[in-house]
Amino acid sequence: MSAAFFFKEARIFIGKFKAPQLLALFLLALMFVWSNSAIRRLSVTYDEPVHIAGGYVAWKWGDYHFQGLDHPPLAEMISSAWLSFKMRRQLPLANPQDSAYRNHWIYDVGDALLYHSALSHELILRACRWSLFLVFAPLLIVVLWLYAKKLSPGSEYWAVALLAVEPSLLAHGALATKDFASAVFILAAVFVWCLFLERPTELKAALLGIFVASAMLCKYTNLVIWPLLVFIGVFHWRQWTLTHAKRISVMVIPVFLIFLFCYQGLDWHVYGEGARSTWARAADGRWSFFWGEHSKRGWLLYFPMAFLMKTNLCHLTLAIAGYVLVAGRFRGRRFGEVPATVMALLLVPAGAMAMGMISTVQIGHRHILTCYPFLILMASVAANHWSRRAPWSWVVWGLMAWGVISTGRISPYFLSYFNELSGGASRGYQFFTDSNVDWGQGLGELGQYLKTHFVSAIATKTDKGAMGLAESSLPVIYLSYFGSGDPGAYGIGYVPIGFVSNVVRRRETAQSPALSPKIILAVSATNLQGTYYAKKDAFEFLKSRKPLAQIAYSILVYDLTGDRGAILDLAGLFDGAGNTAEANLLRRRAQN
């Protein structure tokens, strides 16, 4: 058979598909490529060790008190299932009698599991990330597909395509945390509830119970799903019949079984204790940074601005067009006459945004991740409608091309994504910190950067026989890190200054960077803005200086060699930290 024959057959096969179908297939494949890159390349983020350890402890010892006051166990158990079963004999994890475990130092236990097990920390992290991704990414795709098809046949292809290039969902879908799973379960619960309102069946009631219970077991704050579902139902109270009332009771059974499975029949009261503890912590507030200001009580505009700045312009534009289109389609009708599936597209994002706006815990755009599946659905309706109408079809395809380029050029650092109108990812830390930009994910890239830019430079001055000497000449740096990762695990020799971590890190080297040819200071963006420092302007002296590099859009690297003022300012920080020996070395260096 000739090559011409194969090309002809391929053209016939491809010709059977429409353009949106081909786009969805292509971008879905691209989504898995991008996600694989993020899963492999990002170092551990702040909360991942805790979630992995919490799931491991729940499986191995049935202990729900260990992590129960902070997080429910479902997403964590799914994440760590592989560790707890297939590879459990190879993990010499500290036993329940160890002091870290007994004192509930959950970050220390997570650190021991990740960095002091028989398996490498990269393998553990990737396995746990893949466990969550392979469960929840397909589930999200299926629910989006069905929901979009219900809204407007043909929209399902656009929904999948838009999902594949949505940076916030890509970012958290590649992490072993609970935010992505939570958003998926809420979408699924809302969709099934809307279908139940239209036509109640026992199967829908059972599915509703599964998804509602699963959402509750991902986050304590997801208890708000109950009033949310009631609110959607209130608008359609005229549709309620005795059949609805009879069949809704079926959902109690799967709710009971899901809780029974998660808690293995034990310690149900931990859920109530954890929920009360979560709401109490929320009432206390937490320090946050927004647009040059610090607050422990939050801002009304924090989440709306984060949403506008961290959402792909393709999705924003199409979603706005979708809302306008739907508003026109149902103009003049009462709320009860609008299908529940359409009402939910407005009510759920509005409810999530309203909760975020009044919250005193504003530490990350991930807290409104629930909005994004509904944004995609509305955008898919607009894309499906306008792509069939010339010349608007060119606008739709142009927006999709823009969306692919905008998201793709930041891969795999989707966590730090900011759209073009906000200045892009490199400027994100000027407006937000913490998990909006910097969640500790840049350690591996920092180690690679130091090796590439400093070891290679030394190696070029040596012969091949001296390569081993060059490899050992990786510079010792000053490091101000925000996160729970271990810099030493990524080959970084450092002297710590102003670490913000729940794990105490000791000095990695006896050598001082002040005695090195170059004085290199690497600072996490969250620390640069003083988010969690009592002295908020600790690193103010760096803001007038241009960084040597910006690693993973989360760690800024400065070369202070020959900069007397900056060296003296850094010495002052060591004085404040009680490390006068290092401060004196820096002062002597500044005098030379």
pLDDT digits (tens, 9 = 90+) for 173-194: 999 999 999 999 999 999 999 9
Q: Facing residues of 480 across strands? A: 523
User: Residue 3's pLDDT is what?
Assistant: 57
Q: Which residues contact 428 (CB under 8 A, 6 or more apart)?
A: 309, 310, 416, 417, 418, 422, 436, 437, 525, 553
23-77: per-residue pLDDT in tens? 999 999 999 999 999 999 999 999 999 999 888 888 887 777 777 678 899 999 9
The full DSSP string for 11-30 is HHHHHTS-HHHHHHHHHHHH
Is the CB of residue 501 less than 8 Å from the CB of residue 484? yes
pLDDT digits (tens, 9 = 90+) for 73-132: 999 999 998 887 765 555 545 555 566 776 777 898 889 889 988 788 999 999 999 999
Instruction: Tell me how crowded residue 84 is: count the other CB atoms within 10 A of its CB.
Output: 17
Q: What span, in angstroms and rounded, lies between the C-alpha atoms of 221 and 477?
A: 41
3-state DSSP assignment of residue 290:
strand
Q: Which residue did the predictor score with more confidence, 385 or 336?
A: 385
H helices of 86-178, where? 99-102, 106-115, 121-151, 155-164, 167-173
C-alpha–C-alpha distance, residues 314 and 29, integer Å:
19
Residue 268, pLDDT above cutoff 80: no
- CA neighbor of 54 nearest in space, from 75, 24, 28: 75
SS3 580: helix
The radius of gyration computed from the CA coordinates of the chain, to the nearest angstrom, equals 26
Place of tokens 């002809």: 8
Residues 322, 326: Cα–Cα separation, whole Å = 6
pTM given for the model: 0.92
- Percent of the chain, pLDDT > 90? 67
- C-alpha neighbours within 13 Å on the C-beta side of residue 588: 11
Looking at residue 508, what is its pLDDT?
A: 61
User: What amino acid is encoded at 262 in this protein?
Assistant: C
Cis? peptide before 138, omega within 30° of 0: no
467 — pLDDT class (breaks 50, 70, 90): very low
CA distances from 363 to 287, 314, 533 (A): 8, 25, 15
What's the whole-number mean pLDDT along residues 202-214?
96
Which of 167, 187, 51, 61 is CA-nearest to residue 110? 51
